[in-house]
Structure 1
Amino acid sequence: MSEPATPVRAVIDAVLVGQVRPFGPKAVPSGIDKHATGARVRVGKLGLAGDEQGDLRHHGGPEKAVHHYAFDHYPAWREQLGAQGATGIGVLEAAGAFGENLSTQGLTEAEVCIGDRFRLGTALVEVSQARQPCFKLNPRFGYPDMSRAVQQSLRTGWYYRVLEEGEVAAGDTLALVARPHPQWSLLRLLQVLYVDRLDYAALGQMAALTVLAESWRKLARQRLERREVENMEKRLAGG
């Protein structure tokens, strides 16, 4: 595994956790409403201690143990949602609007690669996949097209699997220790998934990325086999 050519690190500005509670017009169980904690938090194989997910089929688990979203994107969202008259724009006043567990500045999808290993506090984590935005973002922001807007923007956030358990708190450092796939930034991955959707050469490479979450590799294989893009409507619109 190659060492990163240049140091990549960021300060953890906020560590966020949330409990499952009724959410949205249908009061579905969800843990999307996360809030910053000043405590030192245990980082386990299934996520942060005290954090919950309402739909364990699509959220959480070892491949989506920790969710990271760049606070760098918040100003653009405030501007975009303000122009749309989104009624839930107030959630952007503090980190946690996207249900993230970690908030930083200085690292975005353009600077992070699939398979990147980071020392997170005392834990060791590995980038497993980007986020596929779902319909719960729509009521969260009071904007019926929010899930589509996040997908089209490629400002989705990303997930870590936990290789070594440990602890993390706000003020700790997230430091890159290994980068095995520098050619596979999250931005490139998202470009293949959502923009150049039938780039067969890129899909073949994506399917072969062993550090990529299996669900994403399966998606790439299906596009290669079927020569068509899967239907995303249920994920984006719900129902």
Structure 2
Amino acid sequence: MPFAREQMSAIDKAPIKAPVAVDFMGLTTDEQADRRHHGGPLKAVHQLPPATYEKVNAEFGLKVRVGTLGENLTTGAVNHLPEMTEATVCIGDVFQYGGQNEKSDNDSVQLRLVQPRRPCYKINDQIGQFTKVPNIASWVTKQGIAGWYFEVVRDGMIDADLPVYLIERPYPFATLETLWQLTNAKEKFAADIIEPWLTIECLENSWKTVLAKKIKQD
């Protein structure tokens, strides 16, 4: 739909109940107006914790609803398991959405976490429809609560209220919370702190470039 600055955008999402097909480019019924910066195999599906909205609303006294910031998926914790947030998910994690159990060999979608979302000015413009609070995107970046992008490991159908299974965690050290702390830090770090991140094959390359610049030079 028409957006701020005389542009088009599909940032404003609404919940749906019908099943949706997912292929390597994401949800087949989803759209991105700016295909240079959004969408594609390494930004196929965007997930955002509901806690992000709680934090934004509490910080700025707002009532921003889920879906406003462009995410495709949100999840809720069950059975006393931890919420999916930047503190509990890792680069390289593979999640299965649906199925009767882990690694169910049906048409359940499997998604691999490959990078955080970088907040941009569109978050400011989107929330700016309701408030004059300046540069919320910068605050979200500093907090590291922008959610994350998946690449699609296995096509399938996705629907509301499906169970979600963590089926692979090859890099348990690589939480998004830690990644944001490293990339936002003003100081540099010893090579043994940064180099393990550079060996993560699925981490999107621009993040590796930022991290490589954080290594102390002897």
Shorter-chain TM-score above 0.5? yes
Matched, 1:128 2:114: yes
User: Aligned residue for 1:113?
Assistant: 90
1:169 Cα deviation (Å)?
0.7
Residue 158 of structure 2 corresponds to residue 178 of structure 1: no
**2:208 corresponds to which residue?**
217
Q: CA deviation at 1:206?
A: 2.2
Deviation at 1:196, TM superposition (A): 5.2
Length-normalised TM-score, structure 1: 0.77
The yes-or-no answer on 1:206 pairing with 2:197 is: yes
Superposition deviation, residue 200 in structure 1:
4.8
The question of whether the paired residues in 1 share the 8 Å contact of 2:109 and 2:155 is answered with yes
> What SS class does the counterpart of residue 67 from structure 1 fall into?
strand
- Point out the structure with the larger strand share: 1
Matched with 2:73 is: 102
Q: Using the alignment, how far apart are the partners of 1:56 and 1:147 within structure 2?
A: 20
CA–CA distance in structure 2, aligned partners of residues 182 and 196 of structure 1: 25
Between the aligned partners of 1:200 and 1:206, the Cα distance in structure 2 is 12
Letter aligned with residue 8 of structure 2: P
Partner of 1:56: 35
Q: How many residues align?
A: 197
Mapping of residues 188-203 of structure 1, within 5 Å: 188-195=178-185, 198-201=188-191, 202-203=193-194
Write the distance in 2 (CA, Å) between the matches of 1:200 and 1:58: 32
The alignment's TM-score, normalised by the length of structure 2, stands at 0.84
Unaligned runs of 5+ in 1: 1-20, 83-88, 228-239
Q: Equivalents in 2 of 1:31, 1:197: separation in Å?
A: 37
Q: Tell me, in whole angstroms, the C-alpha distance in 2 between the residues paired with 1:199 and 1:56.
A: 35
2:13 is aligned with 1:22: no
- 1:72 to partner: Cα distance: 2.2
Q: Which residue of 1 aligns with 2:124?
A: 138
- Residue type matched to 2:60 in 1? L
| SS in structure 2 at match of 1:36 | coil
Displacement of 1:27 after TM fit?
Answer: 2.0
The answer as to whether partners of 2:86 and 2:145 remain within 8 angstroms in 1 is: yes
Question: What 5-or-longer segments of structure 2 have no aligned partner?
Answer: 77-82, 99-107
Percentage identity across paired residues of the two chains: 35
For residues 44 and 197 of structure 1, the distance between their equivalents in structure 2, rounded to whole angstroms, comes to: 40
Contact (CA 8 Å) 1:208, 1:217: kept in 2 or not? no
Contact 1:131 1:157 in 2 (8 A): yes
**Counterpart Cα distance in 2 of 1:198 and 1:190:** 14
C-alpha contact 2:92 2:202 (8 A) present in aligned 1: yes
